[in-house]
Structure 1
Amino acid sequence: MKVNIEIDCTPIEAREFMGLPDVQPMQTAMMEKLQQKMAENIEKFSPEAILQNWFDPKMAERFQDMFVNMSGLGAGGTKGKK
C-alpha cells in the first residue's frame, strides 16, 4: 500500500504547524547591525585608503630592503668572493 499526502502551505504556515520559532525579527535586526558596521568601516576600504597604506614611506623601505637581500647585495652576500 502506498499513500501520498500533499500539503499546500506557505513556509510560515509550516513553521507554525511544526512549532518552530519565527526568526524573521532576529534576522532583520542582525542585518541592520551588519549594514551599520559595514557603513562605519567602508572608508577603510576606499581606493585612497588602500593606496595610502601601500605607499607608506616605511613600506617602500621594507620593499627596498627585501629586494637588496634577495639579490645578494645585502650584508654578507658577496663577501669572500673574487
Structure 2
Amino acid sequence: MKVNVEVTCTPEEARAFMGLPDIKPMQDRIMGEIEERLRSSLGAMNPETIFKTWLPASMQGMDQMQQMQQVFWSQLANIATGGSTKKE
C-alpha cells in the first residue's frame, strides 16, 4: 500500500512545525554588519583616498632623490674642474 501526503506551507510554517529556530533576526543583524564593513572598506578603496595617502610619501622620496642627484652632479663638476669634494 502506498500513501502520498502533500503539504503546502511556507518555509516559516515548516520551520515552526519541525521545531527549528527562527534565525532571520540574527541573519538580518549579521548582514547589516557585513554591509557596513563592506561600505567602509570600499571607502578606503576610493582612488582619491589612496592617492592622498600614498602621494606625500612618494613625493618626499622624489624630493630626496633630486637632492642626492644635485649633490652627485655638483661633486662630479668639482672633480672635473679640479676642485675639492670636501665641504669647507
Relative to the length of structure 1, the TM-score reads: 0.55
Structure 1: stretches of 5+ with no match in the other structure:
59-82
* Equivalence for 2:38: 38
Q: Distance in 2 between matches of 1:51 and 1:4?
A: 67
Distance, in Å, in 2 between the alignment partners of 1:7 and 1:30 is: 32
Counterpart CA distance in 1 for 2:4 and 2:28 is 37
Structure 2: segments with no counterpart, 5+ residues:
59-88
The separation in 2 between residues aligned to 1:9 and 1:16, in whole angstroms, is 11
Q: Give the aligned partner of residue 7 of structure 2.
A: 7
Q: C-alpha displacement at 1:40, in angstroms?
A: 1.2
Using the TM superposition, give the Cα deviation of residue 44 of structure 1 relative to its aligned residue in structure 2, in angstroms.
2.5
Superposition RMSD on alpha carbons, in Å?
Answer: 2.5
Question: In proportion to residue count, which structure has more helix?
Answer: 2
